[in-house]
Chain A
Amino acid sequence: MKISRRLLLGSVSALTILSVLGVKPGHAHMKVGSTQSDRKLIASMVRAMFPHDRFPDGPYLRTADAIIAKANGSTASALTLRAGLADLKSKSFENLGKSAATQYLKDIEGSPFFSLVHGTTVTGLYTDKEVFRILGYEEASYDKGGYINRGFNDLNWLPEPRIEEHPDLAAFLSGKPKQYASATKLNAS
């Protein structure tokens, strides 16, 4: 099996890749979850699972797209998505309150559908550039000269700590260990 770099880098995440390594999924030509309302429904499920008041809909919708794309990568996962969507609809998931939605997710936790949505979200939602910005993460730094002049040490709500080793360190490290009790006994208890 040859995995091309483009294939690896082009997909949503390495974890997703790892889950497909070694598998050549057979693949029916049918796209599940292609309507706007499916997309929104999945996004609402992702938001219930990973609620961030500060996040607008964009990152959640893009994550939903990644989930749909992932699911359509094999017949089996497309069927998983199809069944999952049907269940969300039958439970009117979008209209459930917060605690009912959480309860629903708890009930299906560990199911293939839950795992599909969860796994893709972990590596999709939290690699979204807009999310990076909202969380205050500054991304690549080398091309900006690192953080040496951009706040690597700008924390000012604590005193400046010592950075050198304590003068007693060498003596401490060459000291004899304490053997008050036999570790064997302690482990057995």
Chain B
Amino acid sequence: MKKIDKNEEAVIVIGSGAGGGTMVYELTKAGIPVVCLEAGAFIKPEEYVNDEWPSFVQMAWLDKRTTSGNWRVAKDFPGLPTWLVKAVGGTTTHWAGATPRFLEYEFKTQTTYGDIAGASLLDWPISLDDMESYYDKAEDAIGSTHTNGRPPLAANNNYKVFANGAKNVGYKFYATGPYGTNAVPYDGRPGSIHDGFNFQGDKHTSKWNTAVREIPRALATGLLDLRPESHVVKITHDKSGRVDAVLYVDKEGNLHRQAAKVVCVAGNSIETPRLLLLSESSTFPNGLANSSDQVGRNYMRHMTGSMYARFDKPVNFYRGETMAGFIADEVMHDANRGFAGGYYMETLALGPAFMAAFLDPGGWGEKFTAMMDGYENLAGMWLVGEDMPQSNNRVTLSASAKDQWDLPAPNVHFDDHPNDIAMRNYAYEKAEQLYKAVGAVQTYRTPPYPSTHNLGTCRMSAKAQDGVVDKWGRAHDVNNLFVSDGSVMTTGAAANPTLTIVALAIRQADYLASELKKGNI
């Protein structure tokens, strides 16, 4: 592996998930040496565990965090606002694989929806046109089924219930994807053996994640200096305000300094704004890149909810690809429904361990045990839609809680917007109708899990005062600082975010590589 001297001014990528892993590969492929600092360890597929809690403990981000706001997560999981992964590959190790694109108007929701009280909607500084070719590249990288000639995954049992229900209620747009897992061998990785455990890391490597594709390929270029178990705690700058180094802690707790030419932050939508806030200085007392006071604000987590249904016949919904089932009929904005934006329905299954923890946090008694007892006969789906950005939904530094390095822990504040609540209730009803249309004997409205989609805390904006980064993801305030993960999303759309995070990162890497080659940075 390449060794880059700590005094050499390097291109540094912080984080190796969807955004960071993609940056690392695209830059090294373009001939640019990169230092990647990743807080987590390099856990290989053979070490992934087919068991829910042990896998969670193996990889989830469990550093101290606190919550506030009226969202139910703050009550049910006060110390666990998110489900994110600390490992090489980031949360793509645990992701499922749903890969829809944004719709054209979802890049301009302020224009499309109009002003909505309490929402800080803003049009993106880019359009679907700007993104189209990068979406193609991202789909090819991920190997999304149903796109560019790749075949669909076979139907598993959960999908059979879901799709028949969809048909019976008159939906048209159901399919087993688009999904980021190989139906057949592709890109040097095998086709799926329908082994489930998508949320625990795919031992068979049919599922795309940056630890099985981008990182190994970047290492193979000989240009990547990958430093796992390296937790960045501060980005420093010179007198002119340019970023000049990062400080990070290794697993023994020793502090290191790596000199920087460019820094790309991709620590996910909680850690990225936290790091910028931690990087305050006398020049930037409110944190780095935060002259707009937008760092950490407009935190989005998607409108979510789940619907589980019990039947009088077996389903065994945990077998096969967890989320390879898609309904798009409800995605199109239609203000007549009483809310702005739309949502997807996607198949979802949990093992009994997670089902017990998440079905109805705090729940007990016969209604609860009837569902658990009928475990073999359950079907399930996730509801995921656009949520409203709100200025006060934000990541801040806690005044009292500290992490393992004694640094202020992030507090994640979230209040549901009335639009989110209206959409969730509407979606629950539609999901109930769907399952009743195939004979459900019991249905259960499951509230949101700790957030798996974390977006918006360093948003892209045309004007510097409205956001944190420009249309390339470059900080408005700092010329050689980029944000390369889901934090840059101006609004969240209904789509699961990862395809867009990867497409944006490929686009940003193209831009950064050409700027570096031109000597503009």
Please report A residues at the B interface, Cβ cutoff 8 Å. 1-3, 8-9, 13-15, 17-19, 21-22, 49-52, 54, 102, 105, 118, 122-123, 125-127, 131-132, 135-143, 145-148, 150-155, 157-166, 168-169, 172-184, 186-188
Contacts and interface: CB of A to CB of B under 8 A. Distances in A.
B30 interface: no
User: Which 5 pairs show the lowest CB-CB distances between chains A and B?
Assistant: A146-B195, A146-B193, A161-B163, A126-B356, A140-B50
Interface residues of B, number: 86
A57 to B, nearest CB: 16
Contacts of B316: 136, 151, 154-155
Contact of B352 (A135, A164, A176): A135
20 contacts: A2-B404, A3-B62, A19-B79, A49-B365, A51-B366, A125-B356, A127-B352, A139-B50, A140-B50, A140-B51, A141-B197, A147-B194, A147-B196, A152-B157, A152-B320, A155-B157, A161-B164, A165-B152, A180-B335, A184-B113
A89 to B, nearest CB: 21
B193 A145 contact: yes
A187 B422 contact: yes
Contact of B79 (A21, A123, A157, A173): A21
A122 B356 contact: yes
Contacts, number: 237
A62 to B, nearest CB: 14
A145 B194 CA distance: 9
Interface in B58-76: 60, 62, 64
Interface string B414-427: 00001100100000
A51 B365 CA distance: 7
Interface of B: 50-51, 53-54, 56-57, 60, 62, 64, 79-80, 101, 103-105, 112-117, 146, 152-157, 159-161, 163-164, 167, 172-177, 192-197, 203-204, 313-316, 318-320, 328, 331-336, 338-340, 351-353, 355-357, 362, 364-366, 368-369, 372-373, 375-376, 404, 418-419, 422, 438
A50 B64 CA distance: 31
A126 B88 CA distance: 30
A110 to B, nearest CB: 9
Given A54-B373, A153-B160, A184 B175 contact: no
A148 B194 contact: yes
Contact of A183 (B53, B114, B203): B114
B105 to A, nearest CB: 5
